[in-house]
Amino acid sequence: MKFTKLSFALACVLAFGGCGGGEKKTDETAETPKVDKAREAEENKARAAESYDAAVKAEASGEYMKARDGYLKVQTYVPDYKDVAARLKNLEDVIVAQQRLEGAPAGDGKKADLMVEYACALRRRGDLDRAMDAARKAVESNPTLASAHAELATIDFEAGLGKDAAEQAQKAVEADPESADGYYHLAFLHRTEAIDGANRDKALEYAQKAAAKSKPNDWKAHELLAAVYRDAGDMDKALASLKEAVRASGGLGRLAKKYEAWGGKPDAPVEKPAEKPPEEKPAEKPAEKPPEEKPAEKPPEEKPAEKPAEKPAEGGEKPPEGGGMGEQPK
């Protein structure tokens, strides 16, 4: 009997011990996912930092596609990591231009134009050294390409090389007398006195040519001409040119505000013609009464049949009045 009681007590102890151990194990399992997620976040952040540093180095060395792939990899670890989104956007134009240039077959006559596009994309993102190298290659490839000389003039100016910029702008108009960009650069350099021997009269002459030869949506040439007119004190022509710049830009807000600040007045809205009042319809006449029915009249007495008329002589027949051959009279 004692043995039985002891066995029963031992069984209870073991049972309660097992239950306690099971609850503790369950609590540990519940806490594990939290620990794993925190650890995973730290690891992803470390991977993002490593990929970001590698991408920045690739971008600095001009390996733009490699840099793009690196930034995309960063986003797989941490989507909003630092300035990755802005860096990717800044790489878009230069990568497209680079791919177009590299995809052009050897001997393609348009390759120099693609070099100019690539140089322009590099300049816009601030890579002046590589932009200058690309523009010079474009000039070497096609010395008569006005756009290559004009782009090189822009790069030279941004690099602080005013004299070189003027030389390239002059070469642009010599290569193509219709080069609005070439005249624009010459006008700008003379107006800003960025070159020796700058002349305001020359600035006006070149600005007028740039505006006259510019494309319909090229507002910059008109804005520059407006500034030159304003420098000369001719506000009427300045406002007219600036108004043209607003039109060419499609109503650019900055230019519209500038136009108003100079004293220009926006065009008055077109007034719609006053609508005429609807014409009054004449009063309808009252319906007429139907005529009273009259008693039926007696039928007329029959007359004896008349003799048929004699046929006229040949050639004397005429068609019925009012109608032609085969037509009913009107």
Q: How confident is the model at residue 241 (pLDDT cuts 50, 70, 90)?
A: very high
Closest of 68, 71, 60 to residue 95, by C-alpha: 68
Q: Lowest mean pLDDT: which of 4-8, 84-88, 122-126?
A: 4-8
Query: Nearest 5°: CA angle at 23, between 21 and 24?
Result: 65
The predicted pLDDT at position 108 comes to 86
Determine the angle formed by the axes of helices 162-175 and 146-158, rounding to 10 degrees: 170
The predicted pLDDT at position 107 comes to 82
What is the pTM assigned to this prediction? 0.69
The predicted pLDDT at position 151 comes to 97
Rounded to whole angstroms, the Cα distance separating 182 from 207 reads 10
153 near 165, Cβ under 8 Å?
yes
The DSSP secondary-structure symbol of 263 reads T
Question: Does residue 311 have a pLDDT over 50?
Answer: no
Task: Decide: residue 270, CB within 10 A, 0-12 exposed, 13-18 middle, 19+ buried.
Answer: exposed
Q: Residue 149 — left, alpha, or beta (φ > 0 → left; ψ -120 to 50 → alpha)?
A: alpha
Provide CB contacts within 8 A for 271, sequence distance 6+: none
